[in-house]
Amino acid sequence: MLDRKFIIQNLEMVRDNCAKRRALVDVDSFVRTEKARLNLERRLQQIQQEMNRLAKQRSVEAEVDHERAKELKREARLIKADLVEVAEKSDILLKQIPNLTHPDSPIGEEANSQEIYRSKYPKPNFDYAILDHKDLGEELGMLDMDSGTKVAKPGFYFIKGDLALLEIALMRFALDRVMEAGYELLITPDVANDKTMEGTGYFPRGDESNTFTLGHDGLNLIATSEIVLCGMYADTTINEEDLPVRVAGLSHCFRTERAAGRATRGLYRVHQFQKVEMVAICKPEDGERLHNELLAIEKKIFEDLELPFRIIDIASGDLGAPAYRKYDLEAWMPKRGDGGEFGEVTSTSNCTDYQARRLNIKYKMKDTNKNAFVYTLNGTGLAIGRAMIALLENNQQLDRSVRIPKKLQPYFGKETIRAR
């Protein structure tokens, strides 16, 4: 969340930022409510000061002083009750206000996002008909969407044989590159409580939620290990010399969204998948550098997979609330949509101190011994299912076998996937 005082002092800027991001937030209502909260706190402090003065002085009019003290106590009780209600409303409104936007981010809706990089690998030019990843996986006997529907519901699936081995190979492949870059591997919980979800900006309740909530204990299935990797540092003060923190989580991810249509067919948008996620925690002045580092790791992973891809600088209107700036890496998927489309396979976001304020993550400055909020950043090492889509469709051979990229072969153990 943004700093309360900053919003009041920069009301016009925050209003404009919300408009750029298409955020339907009543910033003026927050300011009115926050000022009311401050006035109540100020009056409560005045009452306490007067009560302390009455308690200390020995007045000849002791009875009058006693009556005044009773009046002040009654007023204080009423103010405290009002303060609880007003503070709660202020907190709710504050959490709806999105982060600021990087001055170089494109302004506008999704269509205004800008391509900033194209990989050296060209789109494949097939002189034979190919199948999309779903039909190919089923023909190879390695993808079973129907059984996933049978045991759960649409959006769940089984993968078998070499396709299952490919998932494991991709996981190890991505983890090695992430760890080589200095990120410590953690296998994380697949659930988080409401406080952690809200602290990272993933609202577990309401119409905007994309969260599977469990029926007890206020727990939720996570949509990304970013949630728990940031959450584990909540209410923590980190020594400056221990920054930046670099961690990578391996987890299952769960999302309620599931759209119909050719662009989201098969494994593209499912309810459960595995993902390697990176999180960096740093001093504010290191945020830009760490963001570029995360992007470079993602870029290297997909260059090593020999896939055609592009990097997109996401427009303001398509940014999630915590992100100050976000890049998406989109791989070419020859059978997505009508005639092939790029599809998002990773993203990386600089969240500045937005999540840190909500989670109360600070660092102690070495020179002054004062505490300040850290910056948090996140980036996808690899969303396994979507990487498999790109590999199956781009590397499909005439005989329906699938070529495995050279640098992935040591992890997979062979050069091709063939029918069972």
**Bind-site residues for ATP:** 255-257, 270-273, 344-347
Tally the residues of the chain. Answer: 420
* 99: Cα separation from own chain's centroid: 13
Orientation angle between helical segments 161-180 and 384-394, nearest 10 degrees: 120
Feature table: binding site for L-serine:
224, 255, 277, 378
Report yes or no: 378 and 363 within 8 Å, Cβ to Cβ: no
Which residues lie closer than 8 Å to 273 by C-beta, 6 or more apart? 252, 253, 267, 383, 384, 385, 386
Q: Is 19 exposed, middle or buried (0-12, 13-18, 19+ CB in 10 A)?
A: middle
Q: Cα–Cα distances in Å, from 28 out to 10, 15, 289, 316, 318?
A: 11, 8, 34, 21, 23
Distance CA 212, CA 308 (A): 33
* Maximum pairwise Cα distance, the chain: 105
Feature table: binding site:
224, 255-257, 270-273, 277, 344-347, 378
